[in-house]
Amino acid sequence: MPQTTEVEIHVRFTDVDAQGVVNNSRYFDYFAEARLEHLRRLASVESTGAAWGGRTFTIAETTCRYRAALRFRDHVKVRCWTTEVRNRSFLLAYEIVRQGDGVTAAEGTSAQVWLGADQGAAVLPSEVRQALETSLQ
């Protein structure tokens, strides 16, 4: 199984601001699409929550370093990979690369905390830990 998940995105008109560049908040949406596909692939089912007992995670922190502007109709690849698996959380990294010229438009990270039945931080279930560890970069 590849360690990195790639998602192709076509920049929509609604993604750009008045200056004609992708609004900075949309980069986090692109990261989210890659994150969900990465976790879906690791769980090997359509719904990550269903695969992992209906339980899920919350985002504790996310970052983005903007490197180059994206514009309407750009085609990009968003890459996501697991960088660390902790006791109650896991870290992912992202890269957005413009297709055609290969320019890296953004890099980012996110920290996810596993939630228990009470919606508080909980220890990662063994099947979740195992799936994440197989994808470590």
CATH number of domain containing 54:
3.10.129.10
Quote the domain boundaries for residue 107: 5-134
Tens digit of each residue's pLDDT (9 = 90 or more) over 58-117:
999 999 999 999 999 999 999 999 999 999 999 999 999 999 999 999 999 999 999 988
Q: Look at residue 44 and tell me whether its pLDDT is greater than 70.
A: no
Q: Please state the length of the chain.
A: 137
Band of the pLDDT at 10, cuts 50, 70, 90? very high
What is the per-residue pLDDT for 117?
86
Percent over 90 (pLDDT), the chain: 75
Percent over 70 (pLDDT), the chain: 89
- Assigned token pair, 48: 């990550």
Q: 93-96 contacts: CB < 8 A, separation 24 or more?
A: 93/137, 94/30, 94/31, 94/34, 94/35, 96/27, 96/30, 96/31, 96/70
Number of domains in the chain: 1
Q: Look at residue 45 and tell me whether its pLDDT is greater than 90.
A: no
Cα(33)–Cα(25) distance, integer angstroms: 13
- The least confident of 11-15, 52-56, 128-132 is 52-56
For 20, 39, 64, the CA distances from 96, given in Å and listed in that order, are: 18, 18, 10
